[in-house]
Amino acid sequence: MFRSIPRIYANIKIGINASNNLLSSRNIIIKNDLFRSFSYLSRNYFGSLGIYSRDRMNIIETRKLLVNNILKRNLIESPDLEVKIPESKPITVSITPTKVFINWQDDQTSKFHNFWLRDHCKCEECFHKITKQRLVDTFKIPEDLEPSSASPELHGVKITWNDGHTSFFKWTWLRRHSYDPQFVDTLPFLKKKKILWHAGIKDCPPIVQYKDVMQTKEGLSDWLIKINEYGFCFIDGVPPKVKETEELAKRICFIRETHYGGFWDFTSNLAHGDTAYTSLALKAHTDNTYFTDPSGLQMFHLIEFKGTGGTSLLVDGFWVARKLKMLYPKAYKVLSTIRIPTHSAGDSDVLIEPTPNAHPILNHDPLTHELYQIRYNNDDRSTLSHLSPEEIESFYDALRKWNKILIDKESEYWVKLEPGRVLIFDNWRVLHGRAEFTGHRRLIGAYLNWDDYRSRLKISVLSRQEIDEML
């Protein structure tokens, strides 16, 4: 499809000095008759876990070491880096019959197919500036399209195509969307790192005030940022009533309806066929492992309680997973690959199973290899009849190692919920549970979808320009 025989190409050099001024009033185009081969470092980000012998194992406590260690070893958290186009050396742009080369100041070189660039043109003719949808007709772009010129400017490069169309691509957009190679330094804009925690969080849990969240944009974004960083957050000063708690949930986004209803208000009366509607103890778990798309956030407000027990449990699943990866890398890999069938079948008119009907407990982003979702509820697991005998053995071995860390006192944060203090947590990261209880206990709350939560978070922390650059 793309002609690969290089012919004459224009090599365009520009200079940007420290004060970001274009060094020459016009771009110098130098015609070379040889196709210059670019050697570039494709920096695929495959961290490799350092070998930790068990007896030498020590969980790195200080954040600086932790971040370096995690960045090196591609563990769970990696600070979302901002895209910085260094101004040290000029960015050179070369055009060829099939691709455009951007030679960055850090000596990395991106190669973009001409067709890809044209198909991603963001001019008003090709991309609807309000709906943010593509208007370009991919199938009308000539397959052998070539640029007739490329004019680097201060903030990006203007490309004129041989069909007469002109496109402009910002340097920061090109760097962020470079696919050959993909750059680690263009992780999502969210500037906040994940803060992994253990039982010690009990001394400094993230807390926001209800009135701030409900009355100010800053209060809302501070709340969302805390949820993103810690995986949970308390909200104090909430009237212990259904109306106000429901409004608080809707401050983020609409409530997710499930077979349990929308905004729930439940006690231990088996109103639904699930142990949550009993007074039994519930081990640390994430909810909705039986949904293809588990709820992203879960909100709890304990508004009535006359009895004993019922203390709530929170565990940072990302903390547990990181410890598992460092102590038992094989077990980590098993729980990241073996798929577990799940169901919710306690209501007479319900048999819910995910599609596909089995997911790993630890789920990773195929591009960044980061852990992004934990799906773990050992009580909602279906029969394991799809595994080989060897897989059965390695699964149970890995599960025991996971559980050992999960129930370790160092991992468990036990907290008594009180009327007026709402708990919200990331159901893809933080596991929750409760001690058994006696007496009357009324818990209200809701599920929120992951995508709608993340949308609210991005809208509340990113500028319009940053959002446009992500698309």
Ligand X SMILES: C[N+](C)(C)CCCC[C@H](N)C(=O)O
Ligand Y SMILES: O=C(O)CCC(=O)C(=O)O
338-377 mask for ligand Y (x: CB under 6 A)?
----------------------------------------
Chain residue whose CB lies nearest ligand X: 287
Decide if residue 272 touches ligand Y (CB under 6 A).
no
Q: Tell me the closest approach of the beta carbon of residue 377 to ligand X, in angstroms.
A: 5
Q: Tell me the closest approach of the beta carbon of residue 260 to ligand X, in angstroms.
A: 4
Decide if residue 245 touches ligand X (CB under 6 A).
no
Residue 176 has a CB neighbour count (10 Å cut-off) of 19
Please pick, from the candidates 255, 276, 326, 406, the single residue that binds ligand Y as defined by CB under 6 A: 276
Please pick, from the candidates 274, 316, 370, 469, the single residue that binds ligand X as defined by CB under 6 A: 274
The one of ligand Y, ligand X, none whose footprint includes residue 434, by CB under 5 to 8 A per kind, is ligand Y
Decide if residue 287 touches ligand Y (CB under 6 A).
yes
CB 309 within 8 A of CB 379: no
Q: Tell me the closest approach of the beta carbon of residue 161 to ligand Y, in angstroms.
A: 55
CB 424 within 8 A of CB 233: yes
Decide if residue 430 touches ligand Y (CB under 6 A).
no
Continuous H helices in 185-316: 210-215, 217-230, 242-250
Q: Tell me the closest approach of the beta carbon of residue 312 to ligand Y, in angstroms.
A: 5
Q: Tell me the closest approach of the beta carbon of residue 423 to ligand Y, in angstroms.
A: 9
Q: Tell me the closest approach of the beta carbon of residue 282 to ligand Y, in angstroms.
A: 5
Residue 15 has a CB neighbour count (10 Å cut-off) of 15
Stretch that binds ligand X, among 43-51, 100-108, 281-289, 399-407 (CB under 6 A): 281-289
The one of ligand Y, ligand X, none whose footprint includes residue 312, by CB under 5 to 8 A per kind, is ligand Y
Decide if residue 312 touches ligand Y (CB under 6 A).
yes
Chain residue whose CB lies nearest ligand Y: 276
Closer by beta carbon to ligand X, 229 or else 380: 380
Decide if residue 287 touches ligand X (CB under 6 A).
yes
Q: Return d(Cα 229, Cα 224) in angstroms, integer.
A: 9
Q: Return d(Cα 23, Cα 17) in angstroms, integer.
A: 7
**Ramachandran class of 355: left when φ > 0, alpha when ψ lies in -120 to 50, beta otherwise:** beta
Q: Which helix (H) or strand (E) holds 330?
A: helix 329-337
Closer by beta carbon to ligand Y, 197 or else 266: 266
Please pick, from the candidates 74, 108, 245, 377, the single residue that binds ligand X as defined by CB under 6 A: 377
The one of ligand X, ligand Y, none whose footprint includes residue 432, by CB under 5 to 8 A per kind, is ligand Y
Please pick, from the candidates 14, 248, 276, 321, the single residue that binds ligand X as defined by CB under 6 A: 276
Closer by beta carbon to ligand X, 9 or else 260: 260
Q: Tell me the closest approach of the beta carbon of residue 361 to ligand X, in angstroms.
A: 13
Q: Tell me the closest approach of the beta carbon of residue 277 to ligand X, in angstroms.
A: 7
Backbone angles phi, psi at 67, to 5 degrees: -65, -45
Number of amino acids touching ligand Y (CB under 6 A): 7
Decide if residue 288 touches ligand X (CB under 6 A).
yes
The one of ligand Y, ligand X, none whose footprint includes residue 11, by CB under 5 to 8 A per kind, is none
**C-alpha torsion sign, points 103, 108, 113, 117:** negative
Tell me whether strands 207-209 and 440-448 are parallel, antiparallel or unpaired.
unpaired
Decide if residue 426 touches ligand X (CB under 6 A).
no
Buried b (16+ CB within 10 A) or exposed e, 250-277: eebbebbebebeebbebebeeebebebb
Buried b (16+ CB within 10 A) or exposed e, 37-58: eeebeeeebebeeeeeeeeeee
Decide if residue 428 touches ligand X (CB under 6 A).
no
The one of ligand Y, ligand X, none whose footprint includes residue 411, by CB under 5 to 8 A per kind, is none
**C-alpha torsion sign, points 165, 171, 172, 175:** positive
Q: Return d(Cα 73, Cα 81) in angstroms, integer.
A: 16
Site for ligand Y in 432-451 (CB under 6 A): 432, 434, 443
Decide if residue 264 touches ligand X (CB under 6 A).
yes
Decide if residue 285 touches ligand X (CB under 6 A).
yes
**Read out DSSP for 378-426?**
TTSB----SS-HHHHHHHHHHHHHHHHHHTSTTT-EEE---TTEEEEEE
Q: Tell me the closest approach of the beta carbon of residue 304 to ligand Y, in angstroms.
A: 12
Q: Return d(Cα 331, Cα 181) in angstroms, integer.
A: 31
Beta bridge partners of 352: 344
Closer by beta carbon to ligand X, 98 or else 449: 449
How far is CA 354 from each of CA 15, 295, 296, 346, 430, rounded to the nearest angstrom?
55, 13, 15, 16, 20
**Which residues bind to ligand X, rule: CB under 6 A?**
260, 264, 266, 274, 276, 285, 287-288, 377, 380
**Which residues bind to ligand Y, rule: CB under 6 A?**
276, 282, 287, 312, 432, 434, 443
